[in-house]
Structure 1
Amino acid sequence: MKNKSFLFISCDEAKHICDKAQYNEATTWEKFKLNLRYLWCHITRAYVNRNKKLTKAVKSSKITCLKNSEKQQLKEVFHEELEKQHH
């Protein structure tokens, strides 16, 4: 079994922590280790920067979703049409 370093994390672990941090699910300790790796790893830096751009794009988009009531209405219409086709 490989001995894991206390401070230094793998690229895969850094990516996982980056994803968690994007959703505010990373601990302070995880963020610290991510930032430590960020300082010297160009792959981690690129991944973090892409995640930041993606988050910014999603937050600034003008995407609208159906309301729950609209989803329910659409579901009911769908089931009614299915019933008509089976009879």
Structure 2
Amino acid sequence: MKNKSFLFISCEEAQIICDKSQYKEATLWEKFKLSLRFLWCRITRTYVSKNKKLTQSLKQSKVTCLKQSEKENLKETLQKELKKQEH
């Protein structure tokens, strides 16, 4: 059994907390542990940096999603085309 540290977390745990933090779901304690890992781990710093850039890009993008009716129409058209190809 691994001896789990009270303050220090693994890179995997840091990545999970980083993701939670981006969505405002991380607790204050998790953010503190992430900050400790961030100070000495180059991999964690790189992950956090890339995650922040991705989040910023998504916020600034003008991406729009299809409406539910448009999705259904697209699905029906695709199914019709697939049936045509089968015959």
TM-score (norm 2): 0.80
- Which residue identity does 1:59 align to in structure 2? K
CA distance 1:82–1:41, change in 2 (3 Å): closer
CA distance 1:86–1:28, change in 2 (3 Å): same
Shift of 1:29: 1.7
- Which residue identity does 1:79 align to in structure 2? Q
Shift of 1:42: 2.2
After TM superposition, the structure 1 = structure 2 runs for residues 6-85 of structure 1, keeping only pairs within 5 Å, are 6-83=6-83
In structure 2, the gaps of 5 or more residues are: none
Q: Distance in 2 between matches of 1:55 and 1:5?
A: 30
Q: Distance in 2 between matches of 1:11 and 1:48?
A: 11
Cα deviations across residues 31-78 of structure 1 (Å, max 9, x unaligned)? 111012112222211110110001101111122221111101222233
TM-score (norm 1): 0.80
- Which residue identity does 1:55 align to in structure 2? T
Shift of 1:85: 5.4
Shift of 1:81: 4.0
Q: Distance in 1 between matches of 2:24 and 2:84?
A: 47
RMSD: 1.9
